[in-house]
Amino acid sequence: MNSHAQGEQQVVWTVVASDIGPLLLAATDEGLVHVVFHATEPVRDRTLDRLASRLGTTPVEAPDAPQLAEAIRQFEAYFAGRRREFALPLDWSLISGFNRQVLRELASGVPYGSVVGYGDLARRVGQPGAAQAVGVAMGSNPLPVVVPCHRVVESDGGIGGFGGGLETKRKLLALEGVLPEPLF
């Protein structure tokens, strides 16, 4: 019997190629719920196990699922330089509290081609002095690229950290015109 028909949440996923390596995209009926960098088989397997545990249902590989179709199109357009912002329904269920507040501000208030400091983002959410907590929020972002944690940098001009790796952050910032393209 189809458990989705009984009212349980369905989670569908696929892996798409990108300029920064394979990305795992997962969605629920609410919207895109997770984006994972470097989606090799071991990373994919760990991610799917975590999603099953957190969301209470086994994710189903479904590259043609309607819940993923628009996300796939928008990611392709973004990496081709034809899209500057994502317009997707998002499922925020993997993040809550301060982290969700920070990520929502980041998603709505830091446009393509710009950056913000960790401290500046903390002030925007009414928590001056919480720059380190903003860094934690960036590290827990379940929707990177769409919720652009790559646009958060150190106030002294440093690139800062990044869960997808610094080379990935540099490539995303170069794509958006913030950094020059790497020479090699």
139 neighbors 160 (Cβ within 8 angstroms): no
Q: Which residue has the tokens 């920070």?
A: 102
Could you say which DSSP state residue 52 is in? H
CA distances from 144 to 8, 133, 168, 184 (A): 26, 17, 11, 24
* Helix pair 131-139, 97-109: axis angle to 10 deg: 90
Among 60, 71, 94, 66, smallest CA distance to 23 is for: 71
Cα–Cα distance, 15 to 36 (Å, whole number): 9
Q: Which residues are catalytic?
A: 149
